[in-house]
Amino acid sequence: MKQFRLLAASLFFAAFILCSASFVSAANPGSPAPAFTLTDISGKKISLSELKGKVVLLNFWATWCGPCKAEMPALNRLYIELKDKGFVILAVSLDTAEKPVKSFIAEKKLAFPVLMDSDKELSFDLYAVMGLPTTFIIDKKGIIVERILGDREWDAPQMKDKILKLLSGR
- Distance of alpha carbon 94 from alpha carbon 121, whole angstroms: 10
> Hey, which residues are catalytic here?
68
Calculate the CA 118 to chain-centre distance.
Answer: 14
Do the Cβ atoms of 91 and 65 come closer than 8 Å? no
CA 62, distance to chain mean position in Å, is 11
Pairwise CA distance, residues 120 & 169, whole Å: 32
3-class state of residue 46 by DSSP: strand
How far is 168 from 170, CA to CA, in rounded Å?
6
* Contact partners, residue 61, CB within 8 Å, separation at least 6: 68, 69, 71, 72, 91, 92, 93, 94, 132, 133
